[in-house]
Amino acid sequence: MSVPTHPPSVPLAIDDLTVAYNEKPVLWDIDLDIPEGKLVGIVGPNGAGKSTLIKACLDLVPRASGRVMVYGESYKKQRGKVGYVPQRESVDWDFPVSALDVVAMGTYGKIGWCKPVGRKYKKLAMESLDRVGLADFAHRQISQLSGGQQQRVFLARALAQDAQLYFMDEPFAAVDAATERAIVTLLHELKDQGKTCLVVHHDLATVNEYFDWVILLNMRVVKAGPTDEVFTAEYLKSTYGGTLSALSKVGDALKQTKGAIK
């Protein structure tokens, strides 16, 4: 099999990616080429592997097979070009830090080992907070922020990373209208700067409005492409429809055979 090459202008290229937890495949043979400067929505039902796809790209979960290239190189070499917004629930917001401290974490990679956060990076963190409309809340302890504000703190942290390619895990989950507007504005700002954003998204009603590109995911890529071509009733049906349990059945069968051989 020939190994496909990807030009460095492709922000994210995924070949034959398979991820499995406990021998149960979560993602099957994912092949994707994400064009530059697009807002890409990752859409699919619960358990479709949306978050896992992001985490596999970021080397946060082990890959059973496959390759992920960021601007033509492996993720390891290109980390500086990638920004990450994890799910808000993934951390304990009772941690004794201020909003500014959290945002400054986005600059740690540039600061390097053992050095304190200098004035330059504090300023960068402050600017990032300002871009999400939270400059007034910089010194608040993070548990005192509302859910939407916490989400914006995470976005500001990713902005402080100053990346080319952003992975965002459900930034729109359970946020207020002000935050939703702030995020949309921000996404367009990023796009105007030529940056690429992959956003895990739950709300089908807003997909058309927010994204230029859509990946319909349900353990495999059902369809990926420009929103107006891909986001159709037919494809959605095959993403969310009943026949999809077939794949998980295959997974179960595999597991059973393996158990029998043992």
Partner 1 sequence: MNVDAWMDFEIWDVLFLKNYNTRLVVLSTFFLGISSGLAGSFLLLRKRSLMSDTLSHACLPGIGLMFIVVTLLGGNGKSLPLLLMGATVTGLLGVLLVTAIRNTSRIKDDAAMGIVLSVFFGLGIVMLSLAQTMGGAAAGLESFIYGKTASMVGKDLEYLMWITVVTVILCVALQKEFSLICFDENFARSLAWPVHFLDMLMMGLMVGVTVVGLQAVGLILIVAFMIIPAASARFWTEKYRLMWMLAGAIGGLSGWVGASVSAILPRMPAGAVIVLVSGVVFVFSMFFGASRGVCKIKSRQIHMRRKIGRQHFLRAVYEILDAQQTGGNFTVSIQDLLEKRSWSRKQLQKHISRAKREDHIETVAGNRIQLSEAGYAEAARYTRNHRLWELYLIRFADVATRHVDRDADHVEHVLGPEIVRQLEEELDTTLHGMTPPESPHCIVTEGSI
Distance CA 214, CA 153 (A): 26
Q: Does 228 bind partner 1 (CB under 8 A)?
A: no
Collapsing DSSP to helix, strand or coil, 141 comes out as: strand
Closest approach of partner 1 to the CB of residue 160, in Å: 11
Distance CA 43, CA 60 (A): 20
Q: Name the DSSP letter for residue 37.
A: T
Question: Which is nearer to partner 1, 98 or 238 (by Cβ)?
Answer: 98
Position 135, amino acid: A
Question: DSSP string covering 41-56, please?
Answer: EEE--TTSSHHHHHHH
Closest approach of partner 1 to the CB of residue 114, in Å: 4
Q: Does 51 bind partner 1 (CB under 8 A)?
A: no
Bridge partner list, 217: 221
Q: Does 235 bind partner 1 (CB under 8 A)?
A: no
Question: Which is nearer to partner 1, 107 or 218 (by Cβ)?
Answer: 107
Using CB under 8 A, count the residues that bind partner 1: 39
Q: Does 58 bind partner 1 (CB under 8 A)?
A: yes
Q: Does 60 bind partner 1 (CB under 8 A)?
A: yes
Tell me how far the alpha carbon of residue 179 is from its chain's centroid.
18
Question: Which is nearer to partner 1, 57 or 216 (by Cβ)?
Answer: 57
Pairing of strands 165-168, 65-70: unpaired
**Contacts for 16 with CB less than 8 Å, ≥ 6 apart:** 29, 30, 31, 65, 66, 67
Q: Which of residues 92-151 bind partner 1 (CB under 8 A)?
A: 92, 95-98, 101-102, 105, 108-109, 111, 113-114, 116-117, 141, 146-149
Distance CA 132, CA 44 (A): 27
Q: Which residues bind partner 1 (CB under 8 A)?
A: 55, 58-60, 76, 79, 82, 84, 86, 90-92, 95-98, 101-102, 105, 108-109, 111, 113-114, 116-117, 141, 146-149, 157, 161, 174-179
